[in-house]
Amino acid sequence: MYLLFDLSTKDLIHLAIFDARSIEHKNYSGKNRELLDCIHNLSKITNYKLKIKNLSGIMVVVGAGGFTSTRVACVVANTFAYVLKIPLLAITAAEAPDPQKLIPKLLKQKPGNYISATYSGEANIGRKI
């Protein structure tokens, strides 16, 4: 089973749990800092009976959305991947609705290769001089 994190829309956490045959999408309204709570909630309500230890890979939407949201999604995914020794795949927002067709690409990734956040624009942090 695979997991998708998409935090590309402000104040919306989109998660999907899927395998090659079926997929279940779930949207949560909330801030990026609530990602872990949403994953925990997803594990209780889906037909998959998600157990994190049973994950075979994670996909993360990068290149769209806020700076902090993209970083949070990548850090959480990288942490799970490190602990579970599973592959990761950075995808675009356009690929997020149908991640099942990306499973072969995900499985070609080596565990131990981590993803970096990419951004749609320059970070808007700190004071402008």
Tell me the domain boundaries of the chain: 2-107
Query: Percent of the chain having pLDDT more than 70?
Result: 88
Asked whether residue 49 carries a pLDDT value surpassing 80, the answer given is: no
Pairing of the two strands 12-18 and 23-29? antiparallel
Does CATH place domain 2-107 in 3.40.800.10? no
Helices 67-84 and 35-45 pack at an angle, to 10 degrees, of: 60
Residue 123: the pLDDT is: 60
Q: Is the pLDDT of residue 15 over 80?
A: yes
- Give pLDDT, residue 128: 65
Phi and psi at residue 4, to the nearest 5°? -120, 135
61-65, 70-74, 76-80: range with lowest mean pLDDT: 61-65
The pTM for the full model equals 0.87
Q: In DSSP terms, which residues pair with 60 in a beta bridge?
A: 5, 90
| pLDDT value for 2 | 94
